[in-house]
Amino acid sequence: MIKKIVSMALVLSCSSYVFGAEYIVKLKSISPADEKAFLDQNGGVLELVSREGQVYKWSTPKSGLNMKWLGGKKPGPSPVVKIEPNRKLKIFLSPSLEENRARLADALEHEEEPKAAANPPYPDNPEIKKPSKQASGSDPLFSKQWGMSAVDAAGAWKKTPGGKEIVVAVTDTGVDYNHQDLIANMWRNPKEVPGDGIDNDNNGYVDDIVGWDFATNDNKPYDLTLSLMDIVLQGGNPGHGTHVAGCIGAAVNNKLGIVGLAPNVKLMALRFITESGQGGTAEAISAIDYAANNGANVINASWGGESDGEQEEDGLLKEAIERAGKKGVLFLAAAGNGRANSQGGASGFDIDNDPKPVYPAAYPLENVFTVAAIDAENNLAAFSNWGQKSVKLAAPGVKILSTVPGDKYQDTIINLGQIVVTWDGTSMATPHVAGAAAALWSTDPKMSSQSVAKQLMELSTETESVADKVVSRGRLDLHGLK
d(CA 288, CA 279): 13
Determine the angle formed by the axes of helices 316-326 and 281-293, rounding to 10 degrees. 10
**Given 94, 427, 460, 465, which residue is catalytic?**
427
Q: Which one, of 307, 284, 302, 316, lies nearest residue 353 by Cα?
A: 307
* Local structure of 109: helix, strand or coil: helix
Q: Which one, of 351, 166, 346, 345, lies nearest residue 266 by Cα?
A: 166
Q: Catalytic residue at 432?
A: no
Q: Which one, of 269, 274, 171, 292, lies nearest residue 215 by Cα?
A: 274
Amino acid at the residue 192: E
Asked if omega into 360 is within 30° of 0 (cis), the reply is yes
Q: Catalytic residue at 402?
A: no
Q: Catalytic residue at 240?
A: yes
- 196, 207 in Cβ contact below 8 A? yes
* Local structure of 372: helix, strand or coil: strand
d(CA 269, CA 224): 13
Long-range contacts of 42-46 (CB under 8 A, 24+ apart): 42/70, 42/71, 42/73, 43/7, 43/9, 43/10, 44/7, 44/10, 44/19, 45/4, 45/5, 45/6, 45/7, 45/10, 45/19, 46/4, 46/5, 46/6
Residue 89: φ, ψ to 5° = -105, 150
d(CA 304, CA 390): 14
d(CA 75, CA 40): 10
d(CA 184, CA 309): 44
Amino acid at the residue 342: S
d(CA 219, CA 213): 6
**Given 34, 176, 207, 240, which residue is catalytic?**
240
**Given 34, 172, 208, 223, which residue is catalytic?**
172
Regarding beta strands 330-334 and 412-415, do their DSSP bridges make them parallel or antiparallel, or are they unpaired? unpaired
d(CA 206, CA 193): 9
Catalytic center residues: 172, 240, 427
